[in-house]
Amino acid sequence: MNKELFIIDEKASLRSALEKIDANQHGLILTTSPTGAVVGLATDGDIRGGLLAGASLDDCIGQLANPNFVWANQNTSRETLLKKLDHSIRVIPLLNAAQQLTGIVSRDNLPLQVEAKTYSRSRSPVRISFGGGGSDLTHYFNGENGAVINTTISLYSHAILRIRDDEKVIIHSRDLGASLHAENLQNALSQKGAFGLIQAILKLVDPEFGFELFLHSDYPMNSGLGGSAVVSAAMLGCFNQFRHDKWDLHELAELAFQAERLYLGVSGGWQDQYATVFGGFNFMEFRMDQNIVHPLRIHPETLLELEESLILCDTGISHESGDIHQDQREQMKHLNVRQHVQSNVELSYRMRNQLLRGKLLQFGQSLHESWELKRRFSSMISTINLDQIYDNARKCGALGGKLLGAGGGGFFLFYVPSFRKHNVMAHLEDAGLKISPFRFEQEGLQSWTVRECNNHIEIESV
């Protein structure tokens, strides 16, 4: 739209004003002061009335212009403009801070809002596993079917991603306590340091734009809660928001597995990636042809009682799951170890049925059986210290439990009958261990996009 057809000097003639009105075909003209500020509005009806009252075509248009006209600025909402146009107004001039014309809106010309800058956010939950661990390793279910049972809980990894106008890559990780600055993606991928998992995801995604990425988690690293898969999923969720053809849940889980297992070369299973992406209580079956995630419909009262009967305890002992999985891979060559894993698979089916039927005492006992089987997989899974923590918790009232993740440290999960929980909690805290409150999380990976103008402000340094 040619803005010049809508403005005229306030000292111009009525004849000139009518010529512009005829040219713009909107039935009005805006009068301007010597500074270019719009000071009035005249319609063809105003001019016609003036001529009938004795005005001449050579008189100034400013004499007939109305200084009290309706106008809007760039901050006027689209909703307000629509209401004004729907009420009685045909044309609304858009003016800047200097009252200069920047645009015209009308019933026939109300442009869509220009796409604003956006950023993406995501969060992905950690999982606690109950049974079947070890059977989600490819080198196991290559010969036997694997099955695990797990759920996600209310501890998350969080990610924020925004696209830059240049090729720079900037990453801030509170978990690592470090930042990465690079001129471009290639430079970011070539840097040495603690960003290996993040770099593996970036290599996989191969973004064609510069970006800033912020990462943090609600739980410590190497906790046995599937944290590396959770961070990977959170990152993938953010990048997925900027794709037209978005990855589905299975693809997201597979991409997280690919980055960590194939690109980074860390040994491990499949359940962590599926658990964090899908979320909720799931029974998962692993076969070479396909992995199947079965959501479990557990009665709400059973879930509430189970949630109140579990204690999540941080041992404060860090571990390297990749090393344990590598040792477990070697041990899996022995027939007796494969038989222990197979027994754990069979147990996971029983645990599934116990949950579905609300038999929580049996479920707690099965947790103990699961741990007894698991620590036979490898000598690296438990230690004298960890065994002592577990045995003492059992003496104080825990019915069963297990060390989460690959083993070697991280978090213990205990099942405690209702009237013994205070006693077990007191014992664990007296031993200097930290209890982490949690709730079951029914949602898996969640990601969304936000307009920067709605929820972000740059803060200048002082």
CA distances in angstroms from 352 to 148, 297, 341, listed in the order given: 9, 10, 17
By residue count, the chain amounts to: 462
Cα separation, 155 vs 29, in Å, equals 61
Long-range contacts of 420-428 (CB under 8 A, 24+ apart): 420/396, 421/308, 421/309, 421/311, 421/397, 423/396, 423/397, 424/311, 424/393, 424/396, 424/397, 424/398, 425/311, 427/392, 427/393, 427/396, 428/311, 428/313, 428/393
Catalytic residue, chosen from 46, 272, 314, 327, is 272
Angle subtended by helix axes 249-257 and 227-240, to nearest 10: 130
Question: How many secondary structure helices (H) and strands (E) does the chain include?
Answer: 16, 18
Cα separation, 313 vs 128, in Å, equals 12
The answer to whether 30 and 91 are in contact (CB under 8 A) is no
- 272 catalytic? Reply is yes
The answer to whether 140 and 134 are in contact (CB under 8 A) is yes
| Helix, strand, or coil (residue 259) | helix
Cα separation, 16 vs 287, in Å, equals 82
Cα separation, 123 vs 231, in Å, equals 9
Cα separation, 200 vs 183, in Å, equals 18
**Positions marked active-site:** 272
